[in-house]
Amino acid sequence: MRLIIFLLAIVMLMSSCKQSQKLTQTSQKADLLYFQKDYQGAFDSYSSIIESYVAKKQQVPGDLYSSAGKCLYYMESRPQAMEYFNRAEQLGFQDEMMLSLRVKYYGDIDNLSKEVEALEQYSALYPDGSDIAYVNKRLYLRYVEMKEFRKAYLRYPKLQANSRDSLPVLESYHQVCKKLGKADEADKIAEKLYSIDNNNAIGLGHVAYQAYKTTEDEYQAAVKAYEAQKTNAAYTVMVKKTQPLAARYKTARDLYLKLYGITKKPADAAILARIYQRLKDKQKADYYAKLSKG
């Protein structure tokens, strides 16, 4: 009896070894087919291995679902691929490529919450990953879109230099800084925008306003000093201080004319009206005052 049990054990062991060897061979075949971009063949092989585990009521290794899911992704069966990736994750498996494909899929279908979740997960798990530059930029832009300005502000320094200095990103970062009350930083961004493109509305608007504001402040200070005394001497001083400002008002005027040609904003027309008042051009002051009322 003992001999029979012993022989049965040997047979079962040999059978198990053969099955294990067969699974290994099938797995190697699947990996080779995947490498050769025969995704259908690879998927069929991975599926047969998964089915063998299920048939034996054994837990399927998570990496098998991940590999099968990658095949499905490249076979354009992407929703089904996400299901396989979810199963892999539920079984405790995760890798960079699987997460990268999730990021791209949810971005392609414009599922904002799922995409951001995948982007944040990738950023946390693979800070030096091959797609980290794309992930950082995409995550920054999504935060801006979601009005998560604090998160966008913290993400911006992680962008690559060429992304940080691109006009669309700089414009959005200017908005971020303004929303967070970081006026000095917003001004520096506006100046940078103007240095890159002097027709950029944000940069031009900043330069134009500074040209007008500094001139107007000096004008108002001179008038206020005169009104405090209202003497002939004080008037002479006021005239002496305000006359040279005409050239600076003209500089501000030229900048605002250019800006208004781009923006057509009533607020810019209102400043042009005030500038023309200082230049004693009533006709144009009235014209832009009318435009400022929309």
The answer to whether residue 87 sits within a structural domain is: yes
Asked whether residue 31 falls in the same domain as residue 84, the answer is: yes
Q: Examine the pLDDT at 19 and tell me if it is beyond 80.
A: no
pLDDT of residue 26: 66
Asked whether residue 131 falls in the same domain as residue 82, the answer is: no
pLDDT of residue 162: 93
Asked whether residue 132 falls in the same domain as residue 172, the answer is: yes
Residue given tokens 């209102």 in the structure block: 270
Q: What percent of the chain has pLDDT over 90?
A: 85
Among residues 166, 197, 228, which one ends one of the domains? Answer: 197
Asked whether residue 193 falls in the same domain as residue 211, the answer is: no
Q: Which tokens sit at 74?
A: 């490249």
Asked whether residue 280 falls in the same domain as residue 238, the answer is: yes
Q: Helices 201-229 and 245-263 meet at what angle, rounded to 10? A: 140
Section 238-254 average pLDDT: 95
Residue 28 pLDDT level (bands cut at 50, 70, 90): confident
The answer to whether residue 8 sits within a structural domain is: no
The answer to whether residue 13 sits within a structural domain is: no
pLDDT of residue 178: 97
Section 259-272 average pLDDT: 97
pLDDT of residue 2: 56
Residue 31 pLDDT level (bands cut at 50, 70, 90): confident
To which H or E segment does residue 261 belong?
A: helix 245-263
Q: Helices 39-55 and 2-35 meet at what angle, rounded to 10? A: 160
Name the residue range of residue 132's domain: 95-197
Amino acid found at 98: M
CATH of the domain at 144: 1.25.40.10
Asked whether residue 160 falls in the same domain as residue 244, the answer is: no
pLDDT of residue 29: 78
Amino acid found at 288: Y
Asked whether residue 286 falls in the same domain as residue 240, the answer is: yes
The HSE-up count of residue 81 (CA atoms within 13 Å, CB side) is 24
Residue given tokens 């899911």 in the structure block: 69
pLDDT of residue 34: 87
pLDDT of residue 20: 53
pLDDT of residue 7: 39
pLDDT, mean over the chain: 91
Q: What is the pLDDT of residues 153-179, one digit of tens each?
A: 999 999 999 999 999 999 999 999 999
Q: Examine the pLDDT at 267 and tell me if it is beyond 80.
A: yes
State pTM to two decimals. 0.81
Amino acid found at 116: V
pLDDT of residue 21: 60
Asked whether residue 102 falls in the same domain as residue 47, the answer is: no
Q: What is the pLDDT of residues 183-195, one digit of tens each?
A: 999 999 999 999 9
Q: What is the pLDDT of residues 41-97, one digit of tens each?
A: 999 999 999 999 999 899 999 999 999 999 999 999 999 999 999 999 999 999 999
CA pair distance 144, 263, nearest whole angstrom: 23
Among residues 49, 72, 93, which one ends one of the domains? Answer: 93
Residue 8 pLDDT level (bands cut at 50, 70, 90): very low
Q: What percent of the chain has pLDDT over 70?
A: 91
Q: Examine the pLDDT at 15 and tell me if it is beyond 70.
A: no
Asked whether residue 180 falls in the same domain as residue 212, the answer is: no
Residue 6 pLDDT level (bands cut at 50, 70, 90): very low
Asked whether residue 113 falls in the same domain as residue 64, the answer is: no
The answer to whether residue 16 sits within a structural domain is: no
Among residues 69, 93, 117, which one ends one of the domains? Answer: 93
Asked whether residue 41 falls in the same domain as residue 53, the answer is: yes
Q: Report H helices in 56-111.
A: 62-74, 78-90, 96-108
Asked whether residue 49 falls in the same domain as residue 114, the answer is: no
pLDDT of residue 23: 57
How many structural domains comprise the chain? 3
Q: Examine the pLDDT at 216 and tell me if it is beyond 70.
A: yes
Q: What is the pLDDT of residues 100-128, one digit of tens each?
A: 999 999 999 999 999 999 999 999 999 99
Higher-pLDDT residue of 33, 103: 103
